[in-house]
Chain A
Amino acid sequence: DTEVTQTPKHLVMGMTNKKSLKCEQHMGHRAMYWYKQKAKKPPELMFVYSYEKLSINESVPSRFSPECPNSSLLNLHLHALQPEDSALYLCASSQPGGGGPVAGELFFGEGSRLTVL
């Protein structure tokens, strides 16, 4: 069983809705990530948090807003999404080193499948 827990597993929202995806890990990891995965494609990096601070934003549209309330939690706030944003959103964590995020040994959650109508 994965040690990264994501909720909800499924989410359907309209283009005017505001919703949030949540992620929690209790492995003591201090780097957390949001990835987006379209069907039959590899995961694409969206955001990286290191020690609760946003380290990387891969030019993601502002309708996606990440938040890291503490070292165990990661949220992704969604607002005014488009149908093309429908995808599987994956949270991951890893152990950083040298004060920065570490991409190696990523632990992924099961994902939140988002459908935008």
Chain B
Amino acid sequence: AQSVSQHNHHVILSEAASLELGCNYSYGGTVNLFWYVQYPGQHLQLLLKYFSGDPLVKGIKGFEAEFIKSKFSFNLRKPSVQWSDTAEYFCAVNARNAGNMLTFGGGTRLMVKP
């Protein structure tokens, strides 16, 4: 079975700081990779996804993530965070033969100070 690890549980940054949230997964086969975001009081929504092709994927609101297959990683980045990026971020994986069942990491709570 696959598993997902997010090593940073809480991150506090000032506005304009750069962000990188780590995500590692364990699964030997082909995977699809996702980052979801949950803003305070809102439902979970997709930030970006990787299925195939260019390992550097760009999502909404200036976020990007890079799939490094050799490291089993899919880290999320943003060059300059804003106060409105305060949210909880979840990395998720599904194995291609697992019926689109998502396995989530534990989440990272990001707080951006104005």
- Do chains A and B interact in one complex? no
